Structure 1
Amino acid sequence: MRDLLPVVHEAPLQCVRPPPGPDDIRSQLERIVTSAEFPGVGRGAAFLIYVVDEVLAGRAQRIKGYSIAIEVFKREEGFTQDDPVVRIEAGRLRRSLERYYLVAGQDDPVRIDIPKGCYVPTFAWNRPLEDHRAGMEPKLQLSAPDDATDSRWLGRWSVRSTLAILLGIAAFSYGAVSWTSSTTFQRTAGSALPEGPTLVIAPFADLGEGSDAKLYALGLSEELLTVLPRFKEIKVFGRETSEARPSSADAQHVGARYLLTGGIRVSGFQVRVTARLLDTGRGMILWSQTYDDDLRLRGLFAIQSDVADKVATAIAQPYGIIFQADTANPPPNDLDAYGCTLRFYTYHAELSAERHAPVRDCLENAVARYPSYATAWAMLSMVYLDEHRFKFNARPRSPPALERSLQAARRAVQLDPDNTRGLQALMTALFFDQQLTESLQVGEQALATNPNDTELMGEYGTRLAMSGQWERGASILRAALSGNPGGAGYYHAILALSAYMQQDYGVATIEIRQADLQKFPLFHLVAAVIYAERGMSDDAARESAKFVETGSQFLVDPVAEIQERFSQPADRIRMIQGLRKAGLRIPADAAAGLSARADVASPR
């Protein structure tokens, strides 16, 4: 197939400039992705770099949703259009480019756009030459070449050129951000947010024998600067490369508690990446890992993205290395708003009524002091929802807990539309408000925003399972469990319920024994149902008794509780039958009540 080349149509030669060349386009690309007006989180920069690279390499015809999903978002080869990640990110990228050219890029020489309906970028001069009439600038279009000589400049564009862009981006990123220990993070309306853990990403060291290793190292550093800021509970920033000692510099002089550093060695086709996380205050290495790969099996872009994702999942997610370190050695301002996030995750791992009330009070104080703190609003939404669905520490004189949960979740998303915890909270609140379709759509959006957040994966997998997609939900939960042992109790409990609903009672028994959520009332309920199904009458009786002892209000109206949690009528009826088999007193007409309610309460 013949390569596609940029050519100009429908303009007299004497009235037009030559179209932007590769150097012009490369310079403009770097100008955009390093601008403060271009989002520094998400995969917008990676998306834009990829599609521009493909056009300049003569592969515009390859730019499809499928190829972008595989190469930029690392979806499996079985990716289908049911996954909206490319459409969502493309829309976000178009809006980011539009805003950039309205603000910072008004006078830039070249305009890069992603037209609606496709993912192939277009390039045009952003303003005419002084000696040309206004409005005569033609837009760059894609057409087949008429002369093979016109493609010479494309042949020189290679992975090495892409790495040069990444080198420039990474160098700019480190030089553009300089913080001190007294810096406070600013968000909407100029209100300061509480200090959380701070992380410096030092340039990875070049440990190889050739020049490529340095480019690979800086490319990986740029990828980490893209992936890690998605975890909004931590603050990530770079540093000036001119002053950095890549593998040994400490981060104390910029006020960061944690330093991520490492090195890359390239030998032939073999690539080895080492990464270390240091606690600069105590001078300790908290975590280290080695990643090996082969350039003959995967491209450089895929290797960089994969390593960055693995590092981010290990150190930045809830229950990850940084969370564990802060819990074991809390910062001096632990009673401040950031301390509430630590308390929230501790509570969330246990799900006990005793921890619920203090966390709720702490988060309410946090949003009162920091009204633009999106993550605190999201966590407060989930705590309010637990007040509703688990009957933890109800406030009879307040508005309904579910209403408060929805309001807090919407506030979090309004403050920060890309906040994973906010999207997670909104997804869950919508589910319990019986808005199933919108709930799962928000979940897909959240997963596209941060596919490495296992806290989100666990909750999204649960919502899918309870909506009747037991197999798919369990698959996502197992992926979350592999990356987040800290959430093991919760994940195992839902996996046990999923196996029970699929009539795999042996697996259900194994999973429920690994859950061990002794302070969570519904754990005992699910355990009793599973043990009863296996004929383990003593175990079922013990768990039923523990459930009743908790004083749970679940049995006040079991029909309503099951209706709210299980979307499919068959699953609801099966749960009623299981409760009866476990020896719990369920009204004789409960199944009929579920059927009747299913007729009038289908998800909105």
Structure 2
Amino acid sequence: MQGPFDARVDQITSASRPSPADEDIRAQLERIIGSPEFPNAGHAHAFLRYVVEEALAGRAERIKGYSIAVEVFNRDEGFNQDDPVVRIEAGRLRRTLERYYLVAGPNDPVRIDIPKGKYVPFFTWNDPMAEPPASKMESSPKYLLRPGRWTIFIGLISAAMLGYWIIVRPASDASMRALTAPVPGGPTLVVAPFANLGEQPEARLYALGLTEELLTALPRFKELKVFGRETSESLPPEVKPSDIRGTFGARFLLAGGVRVSESRVRVTARVMDTATNAILWSQTYDDDLRSRGLFAIQSDVAAKVATAVAQPYGIIMQAVTANPPPDDLDAYGCTLRFYAYRAELSVERHAGVRECLESAIARYPSYATAWAMLSIIYLDEDRFGYNPKSDPSAPLERALKAARRAVELDPENARALQALMTALFFNQQLAESMRVGEQALATNPNDTELMGEYGVRLAMGGQWSRGAAVLDQALAFNPGGAGYYHGNRALAAYMLEDYDTALLEIRQANLQKFPLFHLVAAVIYAQQGMAEDARRAGAVFVAMRPEFLANLSAELKNRNIQPHDRARMIAGVRKAGLPIPAEADISPSEGSDPQLQ
């Protein structure tokens, strides 16, 4: 039975152009897949082809997460339904399609969209008849970057339908409650349109494209709230920080400009505190149009700006941590306390952060980031022996449950995926952990916290060289990152017999309150002939974790360290003069753990 809203939609849509024919849709599919602006990351080509062909064959009702996992990603028919691969790759596919229509296909005849929350594609005309004349399009960069107005019309219809569903229909399940439940706010940012500082038309196009890239990259960092495109488009490039504060109440403003001179491109970017007008960060980027294309340069600059500004140890997080909210027990304040804890990994901070996060999810049960952070805190109860809790369920079980809840609430949340990867790792599901980590980093390529943790998991799982390379990348993007990553990079260097790098990295880690830091330091110092330093570090470790050495082999195995690597580590501990039982020794002939093969 139709209501008045449904009838109105039918009335509007029946008066519009007929839908594209099958041959038009297939031609558009080939046009997209053949474009260099539509890379095949994460099986994007196969994913898009599968959903389009199924829809055209009249089998749209079969397009479910399960069928896509089996048909596109080659999962076994009995695969775990908690596997987030389809949700993650669908999100990436949507963004890739958005980018394609932004930079390569604004004038394509047909538009293929996959609405968020669904996998069934939606086919419409890009509606060139509704666009201004070609001469006006050529003189206006706006029409070079934006799809047709038909897409805007569809967006308005979709928004109205969503509003009708939320307001008129009662919430009937957990997912709808999660959609509408409040979550605590974090630091807020407005992106002003980047200014065109030159006369060449390329600069105008580049400035618009760079702003668009930033509005795509920055919202991936869930700890940061970014005002949307409509807000950005309503502003002049030279907007004052105080105006942003007064109009939107946002704490930070990101602004900049683009200058093109012959073959050179220069981009300037800065972040300002809207309360004080102070410039917190500024950077200049130079590139050559002869060596790289315009779109490649704009994507690269946007990634660098997003990483410097929004990642968990970036400029904005530093500013907020230095000036925390008045009530530190506020739900968002818990996330700041989490990062402070991660920076030093002390048992003293651990208990307070756990209590704070548990309180946060009790008040905000749909706060995915808090669930993810709580998962990591639960893990630390087990792997570091921090503040064991009197609870009928084991900490590893609680950690995995909290991580899965975080991903369920927000499948693309970097912190949720990081938590799931790590919880799977310590629950001895190594292959699945690595798959989640790879997919997570592909979805959130600028998040150095996620990148660093993925590098640690790769290294511990036996891929020392690859893990070291990922850790190097994370630390290069974020030199002020957590000492935890320097410590693990030191261990990777030791295992790779790069002892000079191991010594350099362990000195940069400086995690005096973290027991395992002292164990790794003792092993490295002993290898470098620094006997007194090794003895001192070893004594500190034994005092902090007296039971660890008696169970050394099991502790290393719990971290998925392969038998021959465990044997090497045990030999290093013995060389440092630490007392370990003879039965801890492992023969390299034991081979590799089955999950690693």
TM-score, normalised relative to structure 2: 0.74
Q: Is the 8 A contact 1:206 1:264 kept in 2?
A: yes
Distance change >3 Å, CA 407–CA 88, structure 1 → 2: closer
Look up the match of 1:285: 279
Distance change >3 Å, CA 327–CA 89, structure 1 → 2: closer
How far apart, CA to CA, are the structure 2 residues paired with 1:110 and 1:59? 15
Q: Is the 8 A contact 2:563 2:587 kept in 1?
A: no
Amino acid at match of 1:461: G
Q: Is the 8 A contact 2:368 2:410 kept in 1?
A: yes
Amino acid at match of 2:184: P
SS at match of 1:296: coil
How far apart, CA to CA, are the structure 2 residues paired with 1:286 and 1:404? 39
Look up the match of 1:65: 40
Structure 1 gap segments, 5+ residues each: 1-15, 26-50, 70-80, 99-108, 115-120, 128-153, 178-185
Look up the match of 2:145: 165
| 1:221 equivalent in alignment to 2:211 | yes
How far apart are residue 510 of structure 1 and its match? Answer: 2.0
User: Residues 239-388 of structure 1 correspond to what in structure 2 (within 5 A)?
Assistant: 239-240=230-231, 243-250=234-241, 251-252=244-245, 253-388=247-382
How far apart, CA to CA, are the structure 2 residues paired with 1:500 and 1:435? 25
Q: How many aligned positions are there? A: 493
Distance change >3 Å, CA 59–CA 543, structure 1 → 2: closer
Q: Percent same amino acid at aligned positions?
A: 61
Amino acid at match of 1:221: T
How far apart, CA to CA, are the structure 2 residues paired with 1:280 and 1:538? 52
How far apart, CA to CA, are the structure 1 residues paired with 2:401 and 2:318? 31
Distance change >3 Å, CA 212–CA 61, structure 1 → 2: closer
How far apart, CA to CA, are the structure 2 residues paired with 1:433 and 1:110? 47
Look up the match of 1:510: 504
Compare 501-510 and 398-407 and name the one that shifted more.
501-510
The one of 182, 192, 204 aligned to 1:192: 182
Structure 2 gap segments, 5+ residues each: 1-16, 45-72, 74-83, 98-108, 115-120, 128-133, 160-175
Q: Is the 8 A contact 1:166 1:219 kept in 2?
A: no
Q: Is the 8 A contact 1:435 1:603 kept in 2?
A: no
The one of 566, 573, 583 aligned to 1:572: 566
User: Residues 534-553 of structure 1 correspond to what in structure 2 (within 5 A)?
Assistant: 534-553=528-547
Q: Determine which structure has the larger helix proportion and give its number.
A: 2
SS at match of 2:519: helix
TM-score, normalised relative to structure 1: 0.73
SS at match of 1:425: helix
Look up the match of 2:412: 418
Q: Is the 8 A contact 1:246 1:261 kept in 2?
A: yes
SS at match of 1:259: strand
How far apart, CA to CA, are the structure 2 residues paired with 1:555 and 1:521? 12
How far apart, CA to CA, are the structure 2 residues paired with 1:163 and 1:293? 26
The one of 449, 459, 469 aligned to 1:455: 449
How far apart are residue 197 of structure 1 and its match? Answer: 0.4
SS at match of 1:486: coil
Distance change >3 Å, CA 335–CA 210, structure 1 → 2: same
| 1:204 equivalent in alignment to 2:188 | no
Q: Deviations over 1:208-253 (max 9, x none)?
A: 1133322221111111110000000010113546742212333111
Compare 503-512 and 398-407 and name the one that shifted more.
503-512
How far apart, CA to CA, are the structure 2 residues paired with 1:241 and 1:230? 17
Look up the match of 1:132: none
Distance change >3 Å, CA 208–CA 312, structure 1 → 2: same
Distance change >3 Å, CA 559–CA 417, structure 1 → 2: same
How far apart, CA to CA, are the structure 2 residues paired with 1:159 and 1:481? 44
Q: Is the 8 A contact 1:566 1:572 kept in 2?
A: no
How far apart, CA to CA, are the structure 2 residues paired with 1:18 and 1:514? 61
Distance change >3 Å, CA 289–CA 590, structure 1 → 2: same
How far apart, CA to CA, are the structure 2 residues paired with 1:211 and 1:401? 58
SS at match of 2:582: coil
| 1:563 equivalent in alignment to 2:539 | no
Distance change >3 Å, CA 220–CA 187, structure 1 → 2: farther
User: Residues 129-140 of structure 1 correspond to what in structure 2 (within 5 A)?
Assistant: none
Q: Is the 8 A contact 1:391 1:553 kept in 2?
A: no
The one of 228, 235, 247 aligned to 2:225: 235
How far apart are residue 495 of structure 1 and its match? Answer: 1.5
Distance change >3 Å, CA 90–CA 405, structure 1 → 2: closer
SS at match of 2:269: strand
Distance change >3 Å, CA 373–CA 488, structure 1 → 2: closer
How far apart are residue 290 of structure 1 and its match? Answer: 1.1
Q: Deviations over 1:351-398 (max 9, x none)?
A: 010111101110010011100000000000001101110000111444
How far apart, CA to CA, are the structure 2 residues paired with 1:441 and 1:513? 32
How far apart, CA to CA, are the structure 2 residues paired with 1:549 and 1:438? 36
Q: Is the 8 A contact 2:564 2:586 kept in 1?
A: no
Q: Deviations over 1:54-113 (max 9, x none)?
A: 938x965996637999xxxxxxxxxxx9xxx99987644668999xxxxxxxxxx95526
How far apart are residue 550 of structure 1 and its match? Answer: 1.2
